Structure 1
Amino acid sequence: MKKKTMASIAAPFVLATGVAGISERLYQYAFGRVQEVPETSKEKQKYAADYYNYIEWLRSQPTETWLQHEDDAAQKLAATYLAAAVPTTDTVIVAHGYKGNGETMANYAKMFHELGYNVLLPDDRAHGKSAGRYITFGWLDRLDYLEWINRILQRDGEDARIVLFGVSMGGATVEMMSGETLPEQVRCIIADCGYSSIDDELVYLLKRNFHLPKYPFLPAVSAINRRRLGFNLNDVSSVTQLAHNKRPIFFIHGEKDVFVPASMLAKNYDATQGPKEKWIVPNATHAESFWVDPVAYRDRIDTFLKTYLTYHVA
């Protein structure tokens, strides 16, 4: 009944509005900046008290604000840096999810802080305190993260060891970073529920949420994006980038994820060329793996890092 209702609403809307009109609306809905973090999904409301406790914990810590392009209001990027309690040159860069920001990753920041790492929490373009009108779904952000890596190297020198970690869009961001030329100080990657490509993800969501086909809407949305951000959506591929990766990577995905289906994990896992591990978390929905069992999540990550933090790409 719900599908018929949605379809009956969508069909006349498409006819009345036209492909260009509906594509523009879809683009603004999916790519447009939001000024506030949207409310979480219903299944994760039960974690709200814990989530805000993590936020308060992060706000109570002695953090630093790092900036890129601070003299250019249209390009300025911001990140929060939390030093380890005991001085170290080991740092985790934490990439946030869609329409979140660095602060929304406070639970992961606390986990890595307790494991003894420095933590850097960037705000991606069009998120948080960073500039930008449109979300790039990790594609241009991957280049910004290369600059954050250089900032860490300037701080800690050649002895630095860096871990890339991300969840959802952040998971895809670090997966896409894997295909870039990274310094040897970047030792390993952890990607939680990242999508295989933005093309795959948008086709899936067009059908699931709007009951709309890929054609003609996705090509039209891609054309809008090319005019505004300079790249086609089919460029944005974790799978393509992972095919160039030789670093160890740990994939995490919720078994019951219906936002980024677990089938995308299989594509990403098969694509990468380095040492790899995967963990499909029973009963976890999208970006819920940490919340289902924080202790198990921490232990799995700690084991992976103890194995691969010393790894050098041949």
Structure 2
Amino acid sequence: MKRWLKLLIGILSILVIIDIIASFYFYNLAIERNTKDFLQGNADLEVSAEAMEVFTEGDWHDWVDQQDFKRWEITSFDDLKLNAYFLPAKEPTNKTVILAHGYLGKGLDMGLYGQYYYEKLGYNVLMPDARGHGRSEGDYIGFGWHDRLDYVQWVDLAVEKLGNDSEIVLHGVSMGAATVLMTSGQDIPDNVKAIVADSAYTSVEDLFAYQMKRMYHLPKFPFLTSTSIVTDIKAGYDFKEASALKEVKKTDIPVLYYHGNADTFVPTEMAHELYDNTASKTEIMIIKNAGHGEGFVVEKDVYVNKLNQFLSKYVK
């Protein structure tokens, strides 16, 4: 009996050690600020030739290069210096869009959307670098959770600089979409009139559980649970609390959801779940044949028509 007990304890000890090693590996892989080679060749992130051409060679790159962006800066609740790029509208306006980029991106990547808001809608444009990205400080990626507090500060700064009559739209893609949804449940000024969430996930836990199974064929327990504990220790948040779904259940800000029906990186079902649970006035558009974050490119006319219709209801 003692021999079997020792054997069982030995096996359990080995499994615990493997789990601990795996937890730090996955933290380094996904959360820590570093090069993310694991995304290269990921079939779920493959984009159409049409979308790839726009993302990499579209004229919006030239537009970004030609603009005289002003640098804005805030100090976060945990003392990080965070950077953003601000472009005032051609004509004075009280309308401002604050854009939120995706995982491993940077603020200027949102020039694809910023150009439309600036050229076609006449908005001021603010494009922050998320913590752990671009010129912003931070040695970890927040996946929207700590970022939600940063975006409250960006909103406050926009109102302070641009006036109390400011009308603000938050527009995010992928991780940025989750960020603006997480922000929606915070105590933010009434100046925020509308939120646009493109390709959002319900929670970090849901996203990682899905990706861990899809990419590594691993179960949620114990690896995701222990990686969440490591993330809490090293970055100050756990996967379960980092929930856009929880925040939209208490928001009163109108939300427009976009999602591609061919998105296999963040499943389309997550958009439906968010839409069904949002407490405020809500609209959703599922874009045919669009992969992750491709909607604005593959169906631009449909996308912007819906956007214009939505914004006209809530932004004067």
TM-score greater than 0.5 by the shorter chain: yes
Q: Which residue of 2 aligns with 1:31?
A: 31
Q: Does 1:111 align with 2:116?
A: yes
Q: Secondary structure at the match of 1:140?
A: helix
Q: How does 1:206-225 map to 2 (within 5 A)?
A: 206-225=212-231
Q: Distance in 2 between matches of 1:36 and 1:250?
A: 30
Give how far 1:211 is off.
0.6
Within the candidate set 94, 97, 114, 1:92 is matched to: 97
Within the candidate set 302, 309, 313, 2:308 is matched to: 302
Q: How does 1:149-168 map to 2 (within 5 A)?
A: 149-168=155-174
Q: Secondary structure at the match of 2:80?
A: coil
Q: Does 1:276 align with 2:282?
A: yes
Q: Which residue of 1 aligns with 2:196?
A: 190
Are 1:74 and 1:131, in contact at CA under 8 Å, matched by a contact in 2? no
Report the TM-score, using the length of structure 1 for normalisation.
0.89
Within the candidate set 138, 147, 171, 1:141 is matched to: 147
Within the candidate set 201, 204, 211, 1:205 is matched to: 211
Q: Which residue of 2 aligns with 1:123?
A: 129
Gaps of 5+ in 2: 1-13
Q: Distance in 2 between matches of 1:141 and 1:297?
A: 26
Distance 1:226 1:15, change over 3 A: closer
Aligned residues: 296
Within the candidate set 229, 232, 240, 1:234 is matched to: 240
Q: Secondary structure at the match of 1:257?
A: coil
Within the candidate set 64, 69, 74, 1:58 is matched to: 64
Give how far 1:74 is off.
6.5
Q: Distance in 2 between matches of 1:79 and 1:122?
A: 4
Amino acid across the alignment from 2:27:
Y
Question: For residues 66-123 of structure 1, what are the alpha-carbon distances to aligned partners after superposition, in whole Å with 9 as ceiling and x for unaligned?
Answer: 11139x9971100011111111110000000011111111110101112111110000
Q: Distance in 2 between matches of 1:39 and 1:64?
A: 33
Amino acid across the alignment from 2:24:
E
- Which has more radius of gyration? 2
Gaps of 5+ in 1: 1-13
Q: Distance in 2 between matches of 1:252 and 1:272?
A: 14
Question: For residues 249-291 of structure 1, what are the alpha-carbon distances to aligned partners after superposition, in whole Å with 9 as ceiling and x for unaligned?
Answer: 1010001110110111121111111111000001111101011
Distance 1:189 1:16, change over 3 A: closer
Q: Distance in 2 between matches of 1:248 and 1:67?
A: 28
Q: Secondary structure at the match of 1:142?
A: helix
RMSD: 2.2
**Identity percentage of aligned residues:** 38
Report the TM-score, using the length of structure 2 for normalisation.
0.88
